Chains A and B, each alone.
Chain A
């Protein structure tokens, strides 16, 4: 554990070599975009990373690319409940949205990757997804494995979502949210308690919680930490663009936002280690609608790559 902590500390200490790329960051996000010292944002790497993101040679049979599941038009996610790999192979977790991951602290639903460089080759090597040895994938596109990682991670760092109605409201435009959306925001922070986990510019605490969603067989964060408290815990997803990306939860088991609101209204699903923040909300139908209206106001302006 101490070694892991030291490794993280060393990584963070090396973060932020001077960017060689002028980035336009939308309203609501930090101007400072963390990058590791060994992989500062360089225009060439970002451009190469974007090409690779759409390159189907990175899958064993050449049938899918990163963008097959992380569709730009669907906030870099897709419409499926769980990831669909080559030959229709089915994973057990939902394809996560990729916007604003430059500020992420860990990656995948269970947080098993500590850096974007580590994360980007995960789906390539996953037998249920692209099913190709990452070194072989790099060779196919004429790169070394570190070069492949650097390029893909650089591109993913430039995928942003901001400038939503909520961002404009936070920035001082009191009229950016309608009356109903403002009531929803009050509930979001108050009675419904959503802001306990969905907070800050990313609208996530980047932590792991047991809400009871999904099948009990998926041990979630436990697979990484082996801590019993983490059994069934999954990382809080960002709520930016949430209305654009049904279905919901880590396994896509809830079809739409109404289902999600009902799930939390009932206090989640019973588990031995259910997060203590989960409780029945006793929201009225009108309150649920206001909350939903606020969630719709989180749709932002998506951008990626060089501008």
Chain B
């Protein structure tokens, strides 16, 4: 029904109950999402809501009478909001603001009276609870008061709400029987879960559809002199580990590890620091909304501080310094309303950032130990060494490398090979298929990387006759 147009594309959608209209989010040429509606017969679309201040919109459902679209807004000031958007006028009524956390799933009851959604439980930044909100905003209830529950989906009768979650080891699919927003019976356990289910919705014949993620991601390290032996960084929390970073002395390896159910989006991360020589691990819960990458600081406080690229709970994207003792963060280089991806780069010893966006058209960047030379790689330029003092450039390879890592020597990764590139070129070495996120220790002795595979299965289950 829609076609990608350059940078513009459609994203979330909801279909009206009479199946005549689709509401969808459209990423527009100005770089934010607008809310559109279009007939299902793919006639002319209409822009219903376009406001850069609420630059992320997610239509979730049509009202029972088809006159309004239940929509999730995410505002520039980092506030997510549950709102109705009137189709005739585009008028917005905000029902509830939810700080920076957005619901993983929001579903309107078949009678149009209640909105079910998940959000953080009171006083928690990791566990979620299920909430009910009257569609006219006149009432609100918290359905679950302990444990971690998310992804509510109504049955087609509207008498039951299906949610994933649980407390302790009792994770799975549950049914809550409700009448006028009140529980009519104890919750019913239906099926064990892995914590990696993403519900899609309920069909009219009461079949619950969901995706179960089976993707795995593991961190490995090896001595570069003994490439035949790769060590798995941890046997714990198998399949949930990524983004390794070496400490300045190459003796400790930090990586990200997921805990608890997968949230498919904003995700609490545990930072694990592994002592390579003793095998001892410490864990720190990063107080951030999302962590994408780690780099070890190189200043005097480097032993207790890591730098993390991601976003915090204050709506800032960029680099943050993470205190390994307290878990507290402070801003290193971040801005409100900015995507953290814009801050991709390499941290220098003085804590400043050498950013990739300073090297137009480049795909990878690495800085040498003296910080006087940078290697950049791109599809058009190949591999170039750049003297930061003089600005002189030296092309050392015509090919582009997906990743660069500079320990004592410069290494480049491409496909399933890793190769020493500078000062002397070495023979390409085979690395495991799907390896990425290469990190070479400063002393040039050790290599770490992530190996990830992607697997998602579609499931359905009839939950009511």
Residues of A near any B CB (own CB < 8 A):
5, 8-10, 12-13, 15-19, 29-34, 169-172, 189-190, 193, 195-196, 199-201, 205, 276-277
Q: Count CB-based A-B contacts (< 8 Å).
A: 96
Q: Across the interface, which residues of A come within 8 angstroms of B331, CB to CB?
A: 276-277
- Contact in complex: A201, B336 (CB < 8 Å): no
- Contact in complex: B139, A170 (CB < 8 Å): no
Q: Across the interface, which residues of B come within 8 angstroms of A170, CB to CB?
A: 53-54, 75
- Contact in complex: B314, A196 (CB < 8 Å): yes
- Contact in complex: A189, B139 (CB < 8 Å): no
Residues of B near any A CB (own CB < 8 A):
49-51, 53-54, 75-79, 81, 92-97, 99, 121-123, 133-134, 136-142, 145-146, 314-316, 328, 330-331, 335-337
- Contact in complex: A189, B336 (CB < 8 Å): yes
- Contact in complex: A172, B53 (CB < 8 Å): yes
Q: Across the interface, which residues of B come within 8 angstroms of A200, CB to CB?
A: 77-79, 97, 99
Asked, given contacts A13-B141, A16-B140, A18-B138, whether A171 binds B92 with beta carbons under 8 Å apart, the answer is: yes
- Contact in complex: B146, A9 (CB < 8 Å): yes
- Contact in complex: B79, A201 (CB < 8 Å): yes
Main secondary structure, interface of A, reads: loop
B62 CB, min distance to chain A CBs, angstroms: 19
Q: Across the interface, which residues of A come within 8 angstroms of B136, CB to CB?
A: 31
- Contact in complex: B53, A195 (CB < 8 Å): no
A12, B120: Cα distance in complex, Å: 12
- Contact in complex: A30, B94 (CB < 8 Å): yes
Of all A-B residue pairs in the complex, the 3 with the closest CB atoms, nearest first, are A31-B137, A16-B140, A276-B330
- Contact in complex: A12, B77 (CB < 8 Å): no
- Contact in complex: B96, A30 (CB < 8 Å): yes
- Contact in complex: B53, A32 (CB < 8 Å): no
Task: Beyond the given A32-B138, A276-B328, please list 20 additional residue pairs across the A-B interface where CB-CB is below 8 A.
Answer: A9-B145, A9-B146, A12-B122, A15-B142, A18-B134, A19-B138, A19-B139, A30-B94, A32-B139, A34-B140, A170-B75, A171-B51, A172-B49, A189-B336, A195-B315, A195-B336, A196-B314, A201-B79, A276-B331, A277-B331
- Contact in complex: A31, B92 (CB < 8 Å): no
A-B contact pairs, 21 of them (CB 8 A): A5-B122, A8-B122, A8-B123, A9-B122, A9-B142, A13-B145, A30-B81, A30-B137, A31-B96, A31-B137, A32-B95, A32-B140, A34-B140, A170-B54, A170-B75, A189-B77, A195-B315, A196-B314, A200-B79, A276-B328, A277-B331
Max count, chain A CB within 10 A of own CB: residue among B81, B92, B95, B314: B314
- Contact in complex: B139, A18 (CB < 8 Å): yes
A170, B53: Cα distance in complex, Å: 6
**Which residue of chain B has the shortest Cβ distance to A19 in the bound complex?**
B138
- Contact in complex: B95, A31 (CB < 8 Å): yes
Q: Across the interface, which residues of A come within 8 angstroms of B50, CB to CB?
A: 172
B146 CB, min distance to chain A CBs, angstroms: 7
Asked, given contacts A31-B137, A195-B315, A199-B77, whether A172 binds B145 with beta carbons under 8 Å apart, the answer is: no
- Contact in complex: A195, B77 (CB < 8 Å): yes
**Which residue of chain A has the shortest Cβ distance to B90 in the bound complex?**
A172
Max count, chain B CB within 10 A of own CB: residue among A8, A18, A31, A201: A31
**Which residue of chain A has the shortest Cβ distance to B122 in the bound complex?**
A12
**Which residue of chain B has the shortest Cβ distance to A4 in the bound complex?**
B123
Asked, given contacts A189-B76, A196-B314, A200-B77, whether A17 binds B330 with beta carbons under 8 Å apart, the answer is: no
Q: Across the interface, which residues of B come within 8 angstroms of A189, CB to CB?
A: 76-77, 336-337
B337 CB, min distance to chain A CBs, angstroms: 6
B125 CB, min distance to chain A CBs, angstroms: 12
B220 CB, min distance to chain A CBs, angstroms: 35
- Contact in complex: A199, B79 (CB < 8 Å): yes
- Contact in complex: B137, A172 (CB < 8 Å): no
CB contact between B140 and one of A10, A15, A29, A172 (< 8 Å): that residue: A15
A11, B255: Cα distance in complex, Å: 39
Asked, given contacts A16-B140, A170-B53, whether A30 binds B76 with beta carbons under 8 Å apart, the answer is: no
Q: Across the interface, which residues of B come within 8 angstroms of A196, CB to CB?
A: 314, 316, 336
- Contact in complex: A32, B122 (CB < 8 Å): no
A102 CB, min distance to chain B CBs, angstroms: 12
- Contact in complex: B137, A13 (CB < 8 Å): no
